[in-house]
Amino acid sequence: MNGLKGLSSRSKCIWLTSLLLLVCLAPGCLESDDSASSTDEIIADEHIIYQGNKSFVTMDIIHAESADNATLTYTIEIELYHDLAPIHTDNMRSLAQAGMYDNVTFHRIIDNFMIQGGDFENNDGTGGYAANWYGYCDGEYMNTSSDCDSETLYTLPDEADNGLRHLPCMVSMAKTSQPNTGGSQFFIMPDDITEHDWLNGVHTVFGKVVSGCEHVTTLSEVETGAYDRPVIPVIIISATVSE
């Protein structure tokens, strides 16, 4: 109160009134409770992207007509790089948690190149879409999901410039020739390649097979027919998420 010494009663009153006005005009003073409530509602209405740096997706895969006649299960573990491709990794994590990859095939396999799967709609490479609304509808940016005609058109924004490369055992997003068209389909490089450098900066690499990549190589060598489709199906029996 040393600053009030020497002031008249009227001057003290004016000084205190001015101080109160300055405090109330400071950021966050006005309607703080209402603002917090509005923010909470907005967050509740949106999909919250996974905030961790890493998580894992484990896939059990068979090379057989069905699980009933399978004699061998191949297990691979994929480490997702959430810090480098937050949207793509959140998408795969969400799809796996929802069971969307269960009983889905690797519909396209090319030796010395990759194995591709994730079309939970048609199992032939013509379907699949993003797990959540990430701002893109069939490759076009839109303000809200209500602007998109159907959730089956939900796609992902490219995150290809993240420094990750198409090296052995890496996991990347399949898409059309147009930008921002990734959905649910992905492909994995076997461990007997060097690098698919022409894909770098175009397709988004977002994870790596950290266990069982030799199985990816084995599966990349199965017999295929028209459209690089395996003669005997290669099926993801289950996909589970762990931290």
- pLDDT tens for 81-114 read 999 999 999 999 999 999 999 999 999 999 999 9
Q: With 60 as the cut, is the pLDDT of residue 18 above it?
A: no
pLDDT of residue 77: 98
**Does any domain span residue 5?**
no
Q: Is the pLDDT assigned to residue 161 strictly greater than 90? A: yes
Burial of 223 (0-12, 13-18, 19+ CB in 10 A): exposed
Backbone angles phi, psi at 145, to 5 degrees: -65, -25
Distance, in Å, from the CA atom of 40 to the CA atom of 29, rounded to the nearest integer, reads: 18
pLDDT score at 212: 98
pLDDT at 233 over 50: yes
The CATH number of whichever domain residue 113 belongs to comes to 2.40.100.10
Position 44 in a domain: no
Q: What is the pLDDT of residue 47?
A: 86
- Alpha-carbon distance of 164 to 145, in angstroms, equals 29
Domain tally, the chain: 1
Residue 152 gets the label, from left (phi > 0), alpha (psi -120 to 50) or beta, of alpha
In this prediction, residues 43-67 reach a mean pLDDT of 87
For residue 228 the two structure tokens come to 């690089």
Q: How confident is the model at residue 3 (pLDDT cuts 50, 70, 90)?
A: very low
Is 8 part of any domain?
no
Q: Give domain status of residue 26, yes or no.
A: no
Is residue 23 a part of any domain in this protein? no
Above 60 in pLDDT, residue 14?
no
Domain presence at residue 37: no
- Domain of residue 238: give its range: 53-242
Note whether residue 210 is domain-resident.
yes
177 vs 223: CA distance, rounded Å: 27
Give the pLDDT score at 241: 98
The least confident of 14-23, 141-150, 154-163, 206-215 is 14-23
Asked whether residue 169 is assigned to any structural domain, the reply reads yes
* Strand arrangement, sheet containing 154-155: 140-141, 136-137, 154-155
Residue 126's pLDDT is what?
A: 97
Q: For residue range 101-160, what is the model confidence (pLDDT) as tens digits?
A: 999 999 999 999 999 999 999 999 999 999 999 999 999 999 999 999 999 999 999 999
